Structure 1
Amino acid sequence: MPTSSDPCAKPELIHPNDALPMLLEQVNAITDTLSLPLENALDHVLAEDVISTVNLPPFDNSAMDGYAFRFADLNSKTDTTSLTLVGEAFAGHPFTGEIPAGACVRIMTGAQIPSALDTVQMQEQTEIQGDKICVTHTRKSGANVRSKGEEVSVGQTVLKAGTLIRAAELGVLATLGQAKVTVFHMLKVAFFSTGDELKPVGTELQPGQIYDSNRYSIRGLLCKTGVEWIDLGIIEDCPNAIKQAFLNASEQADLVLTSGGVSVGDADYVKQVLQDVGKITFWRLAMKPGKPFAMGALPNAIFCGLPGNPVASMVTYYQLVLPLIYKMQGRGELKRHLVSATLVHDIRRKPGRVEYQRAVVSRNKHGALEVSTTGAQGSGMLTSMSSANSFLIVPREQGEMTAGSQVTVELFNHVLS
């Protein structure tokens, strides 16, 4: 933590790898919990481990349409064995009759396998001759059988506390028969933009004005994280207006995000007002884009001030705010998807700050990963984020880079093809 009584005046640039632990030390995970019906649990975070009270599958069942029989009834001396068909088993309607030696049951995918039988032959590898089923081709005991408990057994921990409930988790919980789940209260995040030059989309711009894009980007990012977001709009460059916005946000949210107003301009009031209504730890970070970044506390909420430039706002969100949200949600440490790739062109730069260049990672014809930037890297060029699937991370001390170099890349939002 800065030791100066005025943290905003401290000139040193702090490495983002050093800033992040300092950020995380300032927050605690939500501990309040509630029990929700499963249908309302999407995007909430599990507050306790989910331990199975059932086996999955709950019974031996067929992996495909075919015929179930005892493997021991097959004649190992011939390529074809004839079995007598004695009944049928459908999903939800098991066969309950007698199955003498040398008999088989017609069975459908998902149907329970009679306890006396142990193997299923797919129908494509059988021949029907009246009530006789000729089993052909290579076969083995237990083929095409999904065994009871092979996926999950009674007493097994299936989902751990801190897991975000998404579509797949909803399905897993339903499969386990969990009608209700215990979750943490959803994190509430309020956000607003500052700047007299900003106008809402759909209005007519006057000279010197621009549309506010940051609120839309931030909203989109928050929608993917399992939080309840509160959009407070655009706040004018006025200390009183910003103060009221802070107090309003603090009453509604656990975390407050702003974009703009944390640099060193005469109209950058956010950090000034924050010192009056709360406390601030302000860093000038050794990162590009994203040098101006503020973090502190309001009366009832944590605060993060993102840079006003659109790309810098998104980069600092990914690198600093998202890990903070993970911890506050009770999800633990954010695991980043880092890969090594070959740079396909030269990069000219000067050492000084860690740089997060917007980039595209793909596989070449040999299947190896290679990376190129999206072109111009200005912090106001939001199209560079739209075109990217990754950040090319350039170390602080790194100078010019040449094609063929191995570089570290952080993937986001995309799947490599």
Structure 2
Amino acid sequence: MQQTVSSSLLPLAEALAKIHQIVAPITATEIVPLNHAINRVIAQDVFSTIDVPGSDSSAMDGYALCFHRTADHLQFEVIGEITAGMAASFSLNQGQAARIMTGAPLPPNTDAVVMQENVIADDKVVELKSLPIRNANIRRSGADICRGETLLRPGERLTAARLMLCASAGIDTVEVYKKIRVGIVSTGNEVIEPGTPLSQGMLYDCNRIGIASLLQPLNVEVTDYGIVPDRLAALQTVFTQAESEVDVLISSGGVSVGAADLVKEALSQSGQIDFWKVAIKPGKPFALGRIGTLLFCGLPGNPVSAFVTAQKLVIPAIKQLQHELMPHPIEGYFIHAKLMRDIDRQPGRQEFLRANLSQNEQGELVVAPQAKQSSAALQALALANCYIVVPAEVSRIAAGNFVDVEPF
């Protein structure tokens, strides 16, 4: 399928807007147990059928007190003990107390719970230095969750805290969108597997492991298509196979303008290209397209470029495919830090400089760009803990100015 694609560079915000228009979220769902649901995306509202806590309970180890008619009474008769999991089998009357443990249900007529560290007690009497305020250290029924309350909504990703929330309400299964199947392939005659002998002119493939690791928090099913040589027929064979096996195919290499960069041509013949070239650095030669219903993401071959474009473009596309609610606007999640070294650069593309963020002796956030900013300099990426985000039109930023920083 031949088509004409503009070679002009697309700003990142416009590329993300196009992804939002192009990528249709999946609709298929399944029900899974909580212990298999981490990082899945909720497909239906999750409601609580109970109050949490289910009854008024103690927030402390201490003593439940009844003093509602005597404000200056500091000695209380201990008439029993209640531990977590027990039902309160007695009520308190004025001037009475009960030994109680954290989470245990309160006996009727409890006005407050006093911490055990704040009393003098024996088996029969507890003496206070002063009365606690009414309702102190009491967890009221439904204080955390009310029966019928919406706990989660469609599009929310199940984090560890959200799984705990579901479990606390007695929920053991959730309906989620089906897993996205993602294929990963590297291209190039010069690329070989790590662990094999390295001959002159060859490079070890590090892109597949990096991309697969970036995708791990999205809980996708990954198919590794290995390394494909720079041959049009070989690329088309992988494209055809992937179309029947996965929902997304991510390739690295072969999307630039060299004689051996055949991914764009193979994609044009097998499917369609929606856009090519994005105005970011590193990562300009990025291609997004489709082969039938398969979403194709073509990353640059240089490892840092592949890493950055996977972060900035592929992950948002997969999140949309998964039906995850995306924050809006996408911009504006930066922090500001004082620049420690001058930045001089060629304007024209938004740049993500690998850098290190720290705090100086005055408590200020300061940031220093790594010395090596080549799109092949992986060590700088591995040592960095943030990006300095430089607007496309900026050519110089002097040390001492504040810059936008995106922590890893």
TM-score norm. by structure 2 comes to: 0.95
Selected match of 1:118 from 94, 111, 114: 111
Does residue 51 of the first structure (1) align with residue 44 of the second (2)?
Answer: no
Residues 192, 215 of structure 1: 8 Å contact kept: yes
1:213 positional shift = 0.3
Which of 161, 164, 183 is the matching residue for 1:171?
164
Instruction: Decide whether the 8 Å contact of 1:360 with 1:372 is kept in 2.
Output: yes
Contact 2:3 2:268 in 1 (8 A): no
Instruction: Give the Cα separation in 2 of the matches to 1:71 and 1:370.
Output: 56
Which of 390, 396, 405 aligns to 1:394? It is 390
Asked if 1:305 is matched to 2:298, the reply is yes
Give the partner amino acid of 1:294.
Answer: A
**Within 5 Å, which residues of 2 pair with 1:256-335?**
256-334=249-327
Task: Please tell me whether the aligned partners of residues 66 and 112 of structure 2 are also in contact (alpha carbons under 8 angstroms).
Answer: yes
Measure the CA separation in 1 of the matches of 2:120 and 2:69.
17
8 A contact 2:55–2:142 mirrored in 1 = yes
Q: How does 1:347-358 map to 2 (within 5 A)?
A: 347-358=343-354
Contact 2:347 2:394 in 1 (8 A): yes
Question: Contact (CA 8 Å) 2:387, 2:407: kept in 1 or not?
Answer: yes
Does structure 1 residue 208 correspond to structure 2 residue 206?
Answer: no
Shift of 1:74: 4.9
1:415 paired residue number:
none
Shift of 1:137: 4.0
Residue of structure 2 aligned with 1:12, choices 8, 14, 34 = 8
Equivalent residue, structure 2, for 1:374: 370
Alignment match, 1:135: 128
Establish whether residue 197 from structure 1 lines up as the match of residue 195 from structure 2. Answer: no
Question: Which secondary structure does the structure 1 equivalent of 2:25 belong to?
Answer: coil
1:195–1:261 CA contact under 8 A, matched in 2: yes
CA distance in 2: counterparts of 1:308 and 1:130, whole angstroms: 75
8 Å CA contact 1:45, 1:186 repeated in 2: no
CA change 1:62–1:366 in 2 (3 A) is: farther
Amino acid at match of 2:24: N
SS of corresponding position for 2:344: coil
CA offsets 1:18-73 (integer angstroms, 9 cap, x no match):
22211221111111111122222222110012122211222111111100012425
**Structure 2: which 5+ runs fail to align?**
none
Q: Is the 8 A contact 1:362 1:370 kept in 2?
A: yes
Query: What CA distance in whole angstroms lies between the structure 1 residues aligned with 2:321 and 2:227?
Result: 26
Letter in structure 1 aligned against 2:66: R
What is the CA–CA distance in structure 1 between the aligned matches of 2:11 and 2:94, rounded to whole Å?
A: 75
Q: Answer yes or no: is the 8 Å Cα contact 1:351–1:398 preserved in 2.
A: yes
- 1:21 aligned residue: 17
8 Å Cα contact 2:67-2:95 kept in structure 1: no
Q: Which amino acid aligns with 2:51?
A: N
SS of the equivalent of 2:338 reads strand
- What is the SS of the residue equivalent to 1:224? helix
Say whether the 8 Å CA contact 1:43–1:227 is kept in structure 2.
no
- Is structure 2 residue 91 aligned with structure 1 residue 93? no
Aligned to 1:102: 95
Seen in structure 2, the aligned counterparts of structure 1 residues 136 and 154 have a Cα distance that, compared at 3 Å, is same
Q: What percent of counterpart residues are identical?
A: 38
Give me the CA root mean square deviation. 1.7
Change (3 A) 1:74 1:233: farther
Maintained 8 Å contact 2:90/2:108 = no
Equivalent residues of 1:164, 1:226 under 8 A apart: no
